Amino acid sequence: LNVPKIKDVKIHSDFWSRYISLVGNVVVPYQWEILNDKIEGVEKSSAIRNFKIAAGLEQGDFYGMVFQDSDVYKWLEAASYVLEANYNEDLDRKVNEVIDLIEKAQWEDGYINTYFTIKEPQNRWTNLQECHELYCAGHLIEAAVAYYLATGNDRLLNIARKFADHINNVFGPDEGKLKGYPGHQEIELALIKLYEVTKDERYLNLARYFIEERGKEPYYFDIEWEKRGRTEHWPGLIRNFGREYAQTHLPVRKQKEAVGHAVRATYMYSAMADIARITKDEELLETCKALFKDIVTRKMYITGGIGASAHGESFSFEYDLPNDRAYAETCASVGLIFFAHRMFLVDHNSYYYDVIEQILYNNIIGSMSLDGRSYFYVNPLEVIPKACEKRWDTQHVKVPRQRWFGCACCPPNVARLLSSIGKYIYAYSENELYVNLYISNEYEVDIGENKVKIILNSDYPFGDNVLLRINVKNPLAFDLKLRIPKWCVEYKVFVNGKEENNYKKEKEYVVINKTWKNNDEIFLNLITLPKRVKSHPRVKDNIGKVAIMKGPILFCLEEVDNGPNLHELFISKDSRLEIKFEEQILNGLYVVYADGYRIDEEDFGKELYREDYEYKLLPVKLKFIPYYAWANRGKNEMRVWINEI
C-alpha cells in the first residue's frame, strides 16, 4: 500500500483545519522563536545556538539535554510538512538557515551532533546507551526525507545521507565495526524512510542490523560501559532503569510484551513493522501483532495514552492504569500512531485505525492548548491540582499546560504529526483506495496510471455524514474501501443516492468494487452515539466507574462546569446522554449532559468515618466536555472516569 503525499491532500475540515493552521501559523513559528531563545519566561532551549557553536559561528558552551539537537530536527520535519502543504518563502528561508548551520556543524566524515562536537569530541559513539547520538541522527534523517519530499530540494538529504553513510561505516556486522545499537530507538524507522526515498538497501540493512542486534548477549551497553571506564552521563539513572527500559532485555523477536520506556518501544515497534512489511518477514509481523495487542488490550488508557508509570516514562504491568498518576507521555502516543499506521500498511485492518482515531482525537489534540501555545508532556485522566502540588507521586502532572519544557520532545512531535495528518487519511495501491479517516479534504491520487480526485466532506465523528465525490477523466474500476469505525452502531452506504447493499465487508472495510464514473457520489451514514464505556475489570481504579464517549471522542468532567470534588459525583445508570453543541464554550464545543448526583458532604458531617451510613445524594446535572478541550479554562479539577449509580 502507498501513503499519500501531504501536498496531495488538501484538508478543509473545520475541525482539523484549525489544528493544522495552528501548527503552521502558531506552533511552528512559536517553536522557531523558542529554539532561537527569543521567548521570555519559558525554559531556555539553546538548540539553534548549539548548532551555531558547533558550526564555529559562535563562542560558548553547549546547553541543554544531550539530545537537544532533536528539537531542531523535529521542528525541521514539521516545517517541511507545513511547506509541503502550503509553501511559504519565509519559512523555507528559515529552514535553509538551519540547514546551513547543520552543514557547517557536520564533520568531514559525516558526523553531526552538537553536544559531542562542543563538549566531548573525543568520545563520539562511546555511550550509545545514554547519549542519543543515533537518536538525533534518526531525527535528522526524518527531517531530511521530509524536506526533500516537500520541496524536491536535496541539500538536507545529502547531509543526512553522508551522516548515514558514516554510521554505516561505524556500525554493523563486519569486522572492526561497532556491534552497537541505539540507547533510544528512532534511527531504525528513519533509515527505512531513507531507504524508501533513495532505494539504497544499505540503509534498510543497517536498520535491520540495529533491530536484530538488540537484546543479544554479550550485552553491548555493558561492553561500552566497561570500555569507557564505567562512566555515566546520567549517573544512577538510565543504567539503573534496567534492560527492559530500552527494550534490550531480549532479542526483539522474543519480545511479546510491551515494556520499558514507551517512546523507545513504539519507535522500535514501528521500524519492526516496516521491516516485516518490506521484507515480508512473517515471524517479525507476528511479534509486532503480539506487541500491538498487548498494548491495546492491556496497557492503553482510554485516551490513547500509553506508559502508565512516570518512573522511566514507561509501561507498567498489565491493566495497571491509574488515572491520577498516569504518565501517558504525548510522544508515546505519537509513537503508537506511527506503529499503528505501519501495522495497517502491512495488515490492512480497520482495527489499527480505531486505535489511531482514539489517540488522535483525545491524547494528541488534548496535549495542546486550544491556542497552540502550551502543551502537556504528561496526560492524566484525573487531576486534582492540590494533589499535583502536594503529592510526590503526582508531581509529574503539570496543570495547566506549560509553554515549553526542559526536555522539549513533545511539542515538536505533535507538530510534525498534525502537519502530516493528510498522510493518514488514505492509502492506495494499483486498484484500490482505502479511506481511513473521515476528515474533509480533497485528494488527488494516481490509481494505477489514472488520476483520481476524491472530494470528501464529513462531519464525523460529531455528526454522522460522510460524502465522497469521485472525479475521474474516464470511468475507472477500483475497489473503494471505506473504513467502518468500531464505534459505529449502524451504517449505511449510498451510491449516487441509492442504498448500496451489494458490497463485501473485509476487515471492517466496506469494499465497493465498481467502475467509477466522474462525479459518482458515495454517501456513508456512520452513526455514533454517546455511550457509557466500562473498562476491563482488572483495571482496578475504574471499578464502578464509566467514561463517556461518542465515537472516538472521549468526554470528561471539569470543575469549572461541575464544581469541585468531582469524585463526589455519580452519573445515573438510567440517565439519557444528551449531546449538544454549545457556541459559548471555548468557541464552540459539543458537550454531553447527563443526570447524576452529588454526595451531600454536610449530611456526612465532620467526622472522618461513620458506621452504618448511606451517603445522601443530591441530584445534579452533569456537564461533560470533550477531553481534548480540558484545561483551557484555568487550573481546575478534571476527571474522565466517573462513578456510576
Please report, as ranges, the residues that interact with a second copy according to CB under 8 A. 296-298, 300, 302, 309-312, 316-317, 320, 325, 384, 386-387, 390-393, 487, 531-540, 543-544, 547, 549, 565, 567-568, 599, 601, 604, 606-615, 643
CB of 153 to a second copy, least distance (A): 45
Minimum separation from the CB atom of position 599 to a second copy (A): 4
Q: Which is nearer to a second copy, 242 or 463 (CB)?
A: 242
Output the nine-digit C-alpha cell for 173. Answer: 556486522
Please report, for residues 100, 103, 229, 250, 511, the alpha-carbon distance to residue 124 in angstroms, rounded to integers and kept in the order given: 22, 18, 15, 26, 53
DSSP assignment letter at 173: S
Question: Of the candidates 223, 217, 43, which has an alpha carbon nearest to the alpha carbon of residue 125?
Answer: 223
Question: Please, which residue, 319 or 494, has the CB nearer to a second copy?
Answer: 319
Nearer to a second copy, 13 or 323 (CB): 323
Q: Would you say 86 or 572 has its CB closer to a second copy?
A: 572
Q: Which residues are within 8 A (CB) of 259 and not within 5 positions of it... i.e. 6 or more apart? A: 244, 247, 249, 265, 314, 315
Residue (175 or 614) nearer to a second copy, CB:
614
User: Rounded CA gap, 532 and 462, in Å?
Assistant: 16
Of 534 and 633, nearer to a second copy (C-beta) is: 534
CA distance 302 to 422: 24
What are the grid coordinates assigned to 155, written together? 541539500
**Contact between residue 441 and residue 426 where contact means Cβ atoms under 8 Å apart:** no
Q: How far is the CB of 527 from a second copy (least distance, A)?
A: 13
Shortest Å distance, C-beta 300 to a second copy:
6
For residue 416, give every residue at least 6 positions away whose Cβ sits within 8 Å of its Cβ, in sequence order, or none. 74, 77, 78, 81, 146
Distance in angstroms (rounded) separating the CA atoms of residues 227 and 581: 63
Residue-by-residue DSSP string for 507-521: TTEEEEEEEE-TTEE
Cell of 493: 452506504
Using the minimum distance from each CB to a second copy, give the nearer residue, 50 or 303.
303
Interatomic CA distance for residues 186 and 135, integer angstroms: 5
Query: In the structure grid, which three cell numbers stand for residue 91, read together?
Result: 519559512
Please state the closest distance from residue 615 (CB atom) to a second copy, in A. Answer: 6
Tell me if residue 313 is catalytic: yes
382 is annotated as an active-site residue = no
With CA atoms as reference, report the closest residue to 407 among 138, 64, 127, 114.
64
**Rounded least distance, CB 395 to a second copy, Å:** 9
Q: Does residue 468 sit in helix, strand or coil?
A: strand
The catalytically annotated residue of 131, 288, 388, 409 is 409
Closest CB 486 distance from a second copy, rounded Å? 9
Which cell is 196 given?
524508501
List 133, 313, 357, 382, catalytic entry: 313
Residue pair 559/518 in contact (Cβ under 8 Å)? The answer is no
All three cell numbers of 14 = 473545520
Q: Active-site positions?
A: 313, 409
